Amino acid sequence: MKLSIIVPVYNEKDTIEEILKKLDKLPIDKEILVVDDGSNDGSRQLISNLKSQISNIKIIFHEKNLGKGGAIQTGLKNSSGDVICIQDADLEYDCNEIPKLFDRFKDNSVDAVFGSRFLKANPNIYKRFLLGNKFLTFLTNLLHGAHYTDTYTCYKLIKKDVFSKLKIVSFRYEMEAEISIKLKKMNFKVVEEPISYVPRTLAQGKKIGWKDAVRGVWTIIKLRF
């Protein structure tokens, strides 16, 4: 079974080289799909320079910024693996935990694996982001009869044929809610695994904000009614 790791990138010159080299070392059958979403900080040149150093890498450049959801849609269309994994271009998530999540697909009945930040102690999560995530997850569970602990986790590993059936239309962070809800609505089997998480600050480039929370709420309600 092969894993396609989609890495959406938007202005991540300080971390993109490190994350790609870490992904390259993972002891699994994989391809790495880097989708640069219109970066203008030098990330594009860095990524191009790394192409000869990273095995099984495919690089796609968006001419304009479409958002994380748009980058993932591009990655999905260009992937060849059996399972899709989403990896942010920062260092908040420990990619060494990906093989543990991927291993859950040895159970053929599993359609998707979410890495949950709330199934183990991760005390450094900022309160406003913690409360926002908890609320969005609560609302998803309440309106859609789900039992998620972390709907907005980056680490979503989904069988490619399943991901394609979801027909994701979101272009920004509300995509996280759309994926979670459609997996539930279509009765796919989702399991959660505890993961580590070390959030960066807004000063370091954290991009999700209150407007994304509003879009998330609207998506959750819209998909219910």
Mapped onto helix, strand or coil, the DSSP state of residue 62 is strand
Q: Which CATH class is domain 3-224?
A: alpha beta
Going from N- to C-terminal start, the domains of the chain cover 3-224
- Report whether pLDDT(205) > 60: no
The two beta strands, 112-116 and 83-86, are: unpaired
Q: Give the model confidence (pLDDT) of 96-131 as tens digits.
A: 999 999 999 999 999 999 999 999 987 666 677 788
pLDDT category, 207, cuts 50, 70, 90? low
Residue spans of beta strands (DSSP E) within 13-142: 30-37, 57-62, 83-86, 112-116
43-64: average pLDDT:
95
- Report whether pLDDT(204) > 70: no
For residue 119, the model assigns a pLDDT of 94
- Report whether pLDDT(60) > 70: yes
